[in-house]
A and B are shown apart, each in its own frame.
Chain A
Amino acid sequence: MWEYAPAPESRDIANLKPNYRMFVDGKFVEGTGEPLKTINPATEEVLAEVSTASQSDVDTAVKAARKAYDRVWSKMPGSERAKYIYRIARQIQERGRELAVLESLDNGKPIKESRDVDVPTAAAHFFYHAGWADKLGYAGYGPAPLPLGVAGQVIPWNFPLLMAAWKIAPALACGNTVVLKPAETTPLTALVLADIIQQCDLPPGVVNIIPGAGDVGASLVEHPDVNKVAFTGSTDVGKIIQRQLAGTNKKLTLELGGKAANIVFDDAPLDQAVEGIVNGIFFNQGHVCCAGSRLLVQESVADEVLEKLQARINTLRVGDPLDKNTDVGAINSREQLTKIKELTESGEAEGAQRWTSSCPLPDKGFFFAPTVFSNVSQAMRIAREEIFGPVLSVLTFRTPEEAVAKANNTPYGLSAGVWTEKGSRILWMAQRMRAGVVWSNTFNRFDPTAPFGGYQESGFGREGGRTGLEAYLDV
């Protein structure tokens, strides 16, 4: 095996500024909340200071969104809205490299992922939804479906720019205005998106972006003048929001946690399956709600798969997110790292067999070596709880019926994977998976035309496709 030479992307491309401010009513303004310092999780260095919203700032932002909705955006023909949204898509493409580097700095994800997945998919979401703005009458919700009003949106730290795109693009296309709160640990790309929105000359107040912690999100979703709430994040917080909204007329969509089964049958092309398993759990450090965190492998090939898997995982490079060779970047925060450690310790304590990649880890920053647990039983915490990190739990099955029963034995239901060469079995399995997305002989594919979202406690509502428009229409 030859040695890699590092191929670092230049940090200067991120055009990092010492201070970032919130974006309200078309202007960057100082928030009156306690400013936060966002750090590079790969080095623990402070990247920038970011102003945050206080309760009164939330109110100001919602008022700006309301005014923009009443006076401008709801009255504008869809064909005109479309052109603004197309502009955003194009500017994201134009500033793609800057956004990718900034995302990797703030989030810790490998540059090859931010460059090849996050940023292009974000642009694609705006491009796709722009085209809907003047075609909503064809979407199957009646001849002239109406928007809801002001959308309050709260997004997580795992795909900061992409989640902003998933939320903002359909909201604007359907004629709503937006107040969006990015995650506390990853506010930067959303604020560059605000810069793009300003340069695209969107009417002031149509999009407002207010950084802050969970309390800002709580004030936003509780605000009486918000008509629609969209949340992506943990199931625990999703339940709190659903409770908060009880008795109101706010429309709610939730995209929450998952504990996806990735099912490998003995006739699967095992080398491809191993690539899919690796992608399924180590993509984005496993900080993926739809990660394939439970590997269900047919007993007859379990040893072989595990062996191939460990060999493959040992070649994964963990380290500097800006290095183009890096496969697994930094864990997003110390808090998340602690949670991953705690859950993996529970796996050992409960009797599962732990294997950890021999890859070297950097001296500083938040890193966690890819880890695989075998001899996992369904009752263990590592088989039930979302770890949201690079940790795979391996279980076995004998029959397709057993695989289905084990896969569905969870309150979640976001995604599932099936690996087999037999077409009829793929369709049989896909039909029985209680999950919103089923990847067969592939994993972790996303596209703005393909609806995404969960069953059961993984949330409700869909993002993407014709189906996703329902979340932002009064239907």
Chain B
Amino acid sequence: MSDRVTVAKTYKLYIGGAFPRSESGRSYPVTDSKGTFLANAAQGSRKDARDAVAAARKAFDKWSGATAYNRGQVLYRVAEVLEGRREQFISEVAASEGVQLKKAQSIVDTAIDRWVWYAGWTDKIAAVLGSANPVAGPYFSFSTPEPTGVVAVLAPQQSSLLGLVSVIAPVIASGNTAVVITSQDRPLPAITLSEVLATSDVPGGVVNIITGRTAEIAPWLASHADVNALDLTGAPESLREDLERSAAGTVKRVLRNKVSEDFAVTPDMSRLRAYLETKTVWHPMGV
């Protein structure tokens, strides 16, 4: 064992491709499952959330307009960089979730594989969910799935990496951009994930990650007029109904996930479908 003093990391927010501290100047201590201090995380504010929405909106046109092949490669690149950071994630997940090393390894491996699974979806979604519509008339009519827009994601509180990856990847795979509130008490793997995103060709603003108190920030996202969809997965039980009610103010798409969602199981397409619109285009046929 070395006597060297390690360089401790400052955990910050991830907004618009940059790593700012919370504009509020607040931070909160993060501990491991036994209560030992791990780090101070930035305690994001309403203003941070709004900055994140603005960054996500700004990034939307380019990300949604990128080719599916390009998005697939960018997502696959994320998996490559995740793999390179495997050891770091294993120790962070072990500390955050209080699991044995072997279990943490399996969680991280599944998370990386999950990311690869979604990376492969980008250029198949339109073929699987789209259609040529055999309308009764001289028209060509086709329907294509399109991203909903800016999605606010309340990440799972327990599953700090696998759950996080499982809720972010389906949002961005189809061209949406995301504002993510991390697990409140287990935020460190999320911040490390943001370092992965920042170094793997994901354009700034496509994913924005905020640490802090979910109950404090979530209501601002639920009522924000420039947020198109809301994932309630990590919402505190006592807050879910209120958040849904606020979301109705601008007719947001709300994903009311199953509370007991098992992230270890390979998912189906439902999380992809949750953030997709269907656009139907018509054109007359004739000479």
Interface residues, chain A, with chain B CB atoms under 8 Å away: 124, 140, 142, 235, 238-240, 242-243, 245-247, 249, 254, 256, 411, 426, 430-431, 433, 435-442, 445, 447, 449-453, 455-460, 462, 465-467, 470, 475
Contact of B279 among A124, A239, A435, A442 (CB under 8 A): A435
Determine the residue in chain A with the shortest Cβ distance to B269: A140
A246, B131: Cβ atoms closer than 8 Å: no
From A243, A451, A467, B245 is in contact (CB under 8 Å) with: A243
Q: Do B133 and A239 touch across chains, with their CB atoms under 8 A apart?
A: no
Of A249, A411, A436, A467, which one neighbours B250 at CB under 8 angstroms? A411
Q: How many A-B residue pairs have CB under 8 A?
A: 115
Say if the beta carbon of B66 comes within 8 Å of chain A. no
User: Chain B nearest CB: distance from A463 CB in Å?
Assistant: 10
* Distance of B60 from chain A, by nearest CB (Å): 10
> Do residues A453 and B278 form an inter-chain contact, with CB atoms below 8 A?
yes
Seen from chain B, the residues whose Cβ lies within 8 Å of a Cβ on chain A are: 65, 128-129, 131, 133-137, 139, 141, 143, 148-149, 225, 228, 240-242, 244-245, 247-251, 253, 256, 268, 270, 273, 277-284
Query: Do A140 and B284 contact each other (CB < 8 Å), given the known contacts A239-B248, A456-B251?
Result: no
Decide if A447 touches B135 in the complex (CB within 8 Å): yes
Known: A239-B248, A239-B251, A457-B251. A140 touches B280 (CB 8 A): no
* Contact assessment for A450 and B279 in the assembled complex, using a CB-CB cutoff below 8 Å: no
**Contact of B280 with A450 in the complex, beta carbons under 8 Å:** yes
Is there contact, CB below 8 Å, between A235 and B141?
no
Contact B244 A451 (CB under 8 A): no
Given A140-B129, A238-B251, A243-B244, 13 other A-B residues pairs in contact with their CB atoms under 8 A: A247-B241, A254-B251, A411-B225, A430-B279, A436-B278, A437-B279, A442-B283, A451-B133, A456-B228, A457-B250, A460-B251, A466-B131, A467-B129
Tell me the complex Cα distance, A437–B279, Å: 6
Does A442 contact B282, Cβ atoms closer than 8 Å?
Answer: yes
Please give, as numbers and ranges, the residues of chain B lying within 8 Å of A238 by CB-CB distance.
Answer: 251
Specify which chain A residues have a CB less than 8 angstroms from the CB of B283 in the assembled complex: 426, 440-442
B251 touches A440 (CB 8 A): no
Q: How far is the CA of A243 from the CA of B251 in the complex (A)?
A: 9
Q: Which residues of A contact B148 (CB under 8 A)?
A: 455
Q: Which residues of A contact B65 (CB under 8 A)?
A: 431
Which of B240, B253, B280 counts the most chain A CB atoms within 10 A? B280
B68 to chain A, nearest CB (A): 13
Q: Which of B248, B250, B253, B278 lies at the interface centre, i.e. has the most chain A CB atoms within 10 A of its CB? A: B278
6 pairs across A/B with beta carbons < 8 Å? A239-B248, A246-B248, A438-B280, A447-B136, A451-B278, A470-B273
Bound CA–CA A32/B94 (angstroms): 64
Contact in complex: B244, A437 (CB < 8 Å): no
Min distance, Cβ A250 to any Cβ of chain B, angstroms: 10
Given contacts A246-B245, A247-B240, A438-B280, contact A449 B133 (CB under 8 A): yes
